[in-house]
Amino acid sequence: MIDTASLAPAFDAVSAAFPGARPAWGMVLGSGWSEAASGFETLGELSYADIPRFGAVGVAGHAGRLLWGRRAGVEAFIFRGRRHLYEGVGLEPVIMPVYLAKRFGAKAMLLTNAAGGLRKDWAPGELMVLADHINLMGVNPLIGPHDPFWGPRFPDQSAVWSPRLRKMLFEAAAAAGVALREGVYLAGSGPTYETPAEVRAFRTMGADAVGMSTVPEAIVANAAGMEVAGVTCITNMASGMLDQPLTHAEVTETTARSMEKMRALLLAFADRFASTAP
């Protein structure tokens, strides 16, 4: 389990940069999602490189900046980009957004990502609300000595993905005119893409999309008592489903084409979340 004492310098750095910050929620913008935060009033901005134990991102499509923003009168911490387990930096930077959001008093997290589709009837560019997840990353961020900051020793995962926030996402999508799927997200460690045999296995397991992120953040946020929601941009068909190799360029190109609906969904969600915030 991540020792929060080691993360305290990160809290101190953000507190110094954003005096008086009181985010009601946090949002992590994954691969290709970084520009979807436009539409928030900027109250402050800080590079991940200036936050101890966080560090600069190492993947294209991630801006690597923390935005302290406000929309509809409600503050949010918007993490434009994420760190990944496959970068070899450990789990501290991966779960840093959840730590900072919770430490500043946020009650909810919205996690976004890009993923390969496992359904032949879905097309690249479609958006999927996470209804559940499968963790095949080979690690759990709560392993280790128990730290009460992260909740109970054995947290329940019956409803990691908040039904209330999922309903709010579908309401936001309807208001914004954005089509949404719903499904199960499977996370592997990466950085390799999956093999065709793995894709067949994942489909048999009930997964609808496969990626390399998001699950560690969801596990710790849920354990810590936060509401969690997630949205995936299906950027490509997973390995073996089409007769072509997989590339990260395809991921960034698809999210760029889908940016307007991604932004519309997030802003409509922010407005609805604000209307329910205390």
> Model confidence over 230-256: pLDDT tens digits?
999 998 876 655 555 656 666 677 777
The count of residues in the chain is: 278
pLDDT of residue 61: 55
* CB-CB contact of 221 with 100 (8 Å): no
pLDDT of residue 131: 98
pLDDT of residue 42: 96
The catalytic residues are: 31, 62, 84, 86-87, 114, 212-213, 236, 248
* CB-CB contact of 235 with 193 (8 Å): no
pLDDT of residue 256: 78
What is the rounded CA–CA span in Å between residue 43 and residue 123?
37
pLDDT of residue 37: 83
- For the chain, which residues score pLDDT lower than 50? none
* CB-CB contact of 109 with 25 (8 Å): yes
What is the rounded CA–CA span in Å between residue 188 and residue 138?
8
**Adjacent-strand bridge partners of 123:** none
pLDDT of residue 32: 81
pLDDT of residue 140: 96
